[in-house]
Amino acid sequence: MPPYMSRCLKALGNWLIAAGQLWIPPPPPPPLEDPPPGHPERLADGIPLTDLERSLREELPSWP
């Protein structure tokens, strides 16, 4: 193998190693937890609406 070829292959190998180190994906986000008490969003559809939620739903325009 010619000397320039081994230098090119070595440089290519070093570049691939460096590129691989740059493209390490970030860690995944932490698992989701339940919202704190008093949080306004509802999580389940099976729970009946409260009186306040029902009145707010009647005030809003219909959703398509």
CA angle, corner 5, sides to 14 and 3, nearest 5?
A: 110
pTM of the predicted model as reported, rounded to 2 decimal places: 0.32
- Which stretch of DSSP H or E encloses residue 20? helix 3-22
The pLDDT tens digits for 14-44 are: 888 877 766 777 899 999 887 777 776 666 6
C-alpha 25/C-alpha 46 separation (Å) is 38
- Mean of all residue pLDDT scores within the chain: 80
Residue 64 has pLDDT above 60, yes or no: no
Name the band, by pLDDT with cuts 50, 70 and 90, for residue 45.
low
C-alpha torsion 31→36→41→43, nearest 10: 50
Is 43 in contact with 35 (CB distance < 8 Å)? yes
| Integer Cα distance of 3 and 37 in angstroms | 70
| Residues above pLDDT 90, as percent of the chain | 9
